[in-house]
Each structure stands twice: as C-alpha cells, then as structure tokens.
Structure 1
Amino acid sequence: MSRPRRDSRTLPAKDRMENAFWDLLADHEFSKITVTDVVRVADVNRNSFYYHFSGLPELADASILREVEHMPRPASPQAHMHLRPETEWRFYCTTMLEEPEQRQRLDRLALLTGPNSSNELMDSLRDFLRMTMMSILEIDTDSMDVKTSLLIDFSVGGILAVLQDWPRMRETITVDDLMSDDLALLTMSMYMAMSKESLRSYLGRVISADRAPMPNYMTATLGAPTFA
C-alpha cells in the first residue's frame, strides 16, 4: 500500500486523527464514536485511517500515550540530590499550569476520567502513566520491589484524582496554590523513595540546608531500622 499523501501546509494525517479523537471525546461517548466520525473531523480518508491504525482502540491508545509521554518530566533522581524540593516543585507546577500546551494536555487527559470515557480508556491511561513513571525512574518490572510498586500505584492514583478534579479547578488554580513547603517535600520525597537513590541522604541534605529541626515523624522515619 502506498503511503497516504500529506499536505505540507497541514498537520500530518496521524496527528489530525489523534486531534480528532480528543475533539470527538469532548462531546461524545467513546462507545458511540466511529471511524467515519474520525476521518470526517480529521479530513482524511478511510485508507489513511487504516494505514495508521487497526481500529479505534489503537487510535485511542496512540492518542493517550502521546499526551502522557509529553507531560513535563521531573529532573532525574541524581539531580534532585542537589536541588531544593520547593525549587523543583515550583518549576514543575509552573510548567503544567502556565504553558498553554500543557494545559491543553491536562484538558485532554481529564476527558479520560469524565463521563464520555470508558473502562478501557481509563485502563490505558493508568497503564501508560505507570509505564512512563517507571521509564523516568529507570525501573523495570522484573527488578521492581513491592514497596516501589505500591508507591507507583499510589502516585498514579493521585494523578487520576487530580485529572478528575481538573475541570472544576482549571479556571481558578494557580501555582501559588500548590506552593507549600510540606507539599513540595512530600512530593519530592515520594519520588526519591521510588528511585534507586537514597531517600535518607536526600532528606538529610534538605534538612541540613534549611538548618531547621527535624520533625518528630521524620526523625522516627530516618531512625527506623530497615528490614530485608
């Protein structure tokens, strides 16, 4: 089969079809969207659709994966050893909330938790979030321990909860709303706990830099014995 023509003045056909998926999902239940709808909105022919995708589920997966993969990524765990948690947290929140492309990404991913979604779309979102997080942390399934697996699942659940609330808060939330030292430390500590780096060393640097007394719960955590 010859490759479909691409008008250099427009987006590639594949991109237009992925955009069409999101446009349609905003107004229609996924179960009622058809290939005919997609090719009409994307202004492509059916041959072009089936050149790129075997069907609507594959289009949905490609669309979701693209958005998840292009979410802002935190600095590597190694870099975090030299960053204050609030510095990295502010950078991440600013990127997510103030860049138009990232706000559109949140709008789109939030559709997957809304009334027009399906169990299959939710499963794909959950799987791709988990897969991407493991990629960032350079963790593979075979070497992942139970603790890390639970932390990743907990983090993915938190992201899904935020996406469910996003339509309600998108017009009012600001970066300053999220800038709490406690929240920054909690978020970065969870990230470090999932990584291969030492959480104990990271927290020690943070506390030392602040020259502040360590909270009782933190002292207990760092002083607790490690069990095999």
Structure 2
Amino acid sequence: MSRPRRDSAVPPARERMQDAFWKLLADREYRRITVTDIVRSAQVNRNSFYYHFSGLPELADAAILAEVQSSPLVHDAPNPDVDPQEHWRAHITHFMRTPRERERIDRLALLAGPHSSPELVESLHDFARLSLIGTLELDSDHLDLKTDLLLDFTAGGLLSILKRWPELRETISMDDLLNDDVAMLAMGIYMSMSKENMLAYWNRIFNKG
C-alpha cells in the first residue's frame, strides 16, 4: 500500500493503527485481537505495523498514552489563584460539549471494561500517574508519602469512574458534574498534590460564600 500524500485527508499509518486498536477493543476482548486484525482494519501492511511497533502490547501502550497525554483534565495544571469551582466548570463544560473529548472518555473507558486485560489497566494507571507527575512538575524520584498516595488515589479514582462510564454517560448531567461539592473534591485532590501547605487553600474553599 502506498504512503498517503502529505496533503492527503487519510491519517498517517501510526494513527490509523491506534484507531484500529480502539475500534477492535470495543468489539472483542484484547486477548483475541491480533496483528492481522490491526493491519486489516487500519489498511496497512505488516511491514508498516512492525516499522512502528514491536508488537500488539507496544501499540496498545502508544494508543493509551496518546489519549491520556492529550487529555486537558490530566494535562492542564490547576491555577491556585483561580476559583476552583470556575476552573472545574470550564473543564467539565469543555469535556461534555466536545465530541472528541467524549470519544476520548469512551475509548479510555474500554480499558476498564469487560474487553480489557490487567496489562491494559496497569498501563492506564501508570500513564495517568506519570502525566499527573509531569503536569504538576513533581520529581518522581522524590515524592513524599502524601503526594505518592494522592497520585495513586487519583489514578484509581479515574479507573473507577471509567469502569462505570457506560452507565454514567446515560444518566449523569452537567448539573451533577458542576455541583459545588464535586468541584471542591476534584480540585481539592488535584491541588493537594501541587501545594505544600494546603491549609489556606482549604480554608478558602470551606469559608467561601
């Protein structure tokens, strides 16, 4: 198969293979997906697959990392000078009203669904944790115990939400997500990892209004 022209509307082979991974994972268990399935769905040849990836696990990791790294909820560091409720409102409004972001959640939710595997779940957890560390400009080799626990707690919470996303997306509303208590909890956990002294921050939230 010839390579697409630079001005072609056809996505690059690597992107097509990552898209094929998500499409196939929605249809069948990860352990039943083969390289042959990927190249057929992506309309590339096996040489192209092995040029980009050593095998299916590397493709899966690349697909997961691409979704996690481009997520604004993980990649945007919170501003301590901005009202946490306003910050949360802006993020959630963007997420719920942008088709690409809803697609991203749907894709990541597959990793916590019945077609997933322990390896995929571990990759999602690790990539989410690493992305948070990078966003908050933390030193991964020198994390204090509180921050280390909060990172695991946050990554685990994301997995729990994604596991129930097929159910939540049919019932949850913007009002639910913009609830003051939800905003306080979400931003409080996030900010806790980026500030050494949280007392003033928590007092500002609890004494607001």
Superposition pairs of residues 171-186 of structure 1, within 5 angstroms: 171-186=170-185
Q: Any conservation in 2 of the 1:90–1:175 contact (CA below 8 Å)?
A: no
Give the corresponding residue for 1:72: 72
Q: Label 1:9 to 1:96 Cα distance change in 2 as closer, same or farther (>3 A).
A: closer
Q: 1:183: Cα distance to partner?
A: 2.0
TM value normalised by structure 1? 0.84
Give the corresponding residue for 1:13: 13
Give the corresponding residue for 2:45: 45
Q: How many residues align?
A: 205
Cα deviation 1:39-92 (Å, max 9, x = unaligned):
000000111101100000000000000001111137534x22x21111011111
**Runs (5+) with no aligned partner, structure 2:** none
Highest CA radius of gyration, 1 or 2?
A: 1
Give the corresponding residue for 2:128: 129
Aligned residue for 2:170, secondary structure, equals coil
Aligned residue for 1:41, secondary structure, equals helix
**Runs (5+) with no aligned partner, structure 1:** 213-228
Cα deviation 1:127-179 (Å, max 9, x = unaligned):
00100111111112222101100011111111101001101121332221112
Q: Provide the C-alpha distance between the structure 1 equivalents of 2:141 and 2:56, rounded to a whole number of angstroms.
A: 31
Give the corresponding residue for 2:58: 58
Q: Provide the C-alpha distance between the structure 2 equivalents of 1:109 and 1:187, rounded to a whole number of angstroms.
A: 19
Name the % identity: 53
TM value normalised by structure 2? 0.92
CA-based RMSD: 1.7
Q: Which amino acid aligns with 2:135?
A: I
Q: Provide the C-alpha distance between the structure 2 equivalents of 1:189 and 1:51, rounded to a whole number of angstroms.
A: 44
Q: Any conservation in 2 of the 1:192–1:198 contact (CA below 8 Å)?
A: no
Q: Which amino acid aligns with 1:53?
A: F
Q: Any conservation in 2 of the 1:94–1:175 contact (CA below 8 Å)?
A: yes
Give the corresponding residue for 1:103: 102
Greater mean deviation of Cα atoms: 163-172 or 145-154: 163-172
Q: 1:199: Cα distance to partner?
A: 1.7
Cα deviation 1:70-125 (Å, max 9, x = unaligned):
11137534x22x21111011111112221100100010000011111111111101
Q: Provide the C-alpha distance between the structure 2 equivalents of 1:203 and 1:150, rounded to a whole number of angstroms.
A: 19
Give the corresponding residue for 1:218: none
Superposition pairs of residues 1-228 of structure 1, within 5 angstroms: 5-7=3-5, 8-73=8-73, 75-77=76-78, 79-80=79-80, 82-206=81-205, 210=208, 212=209
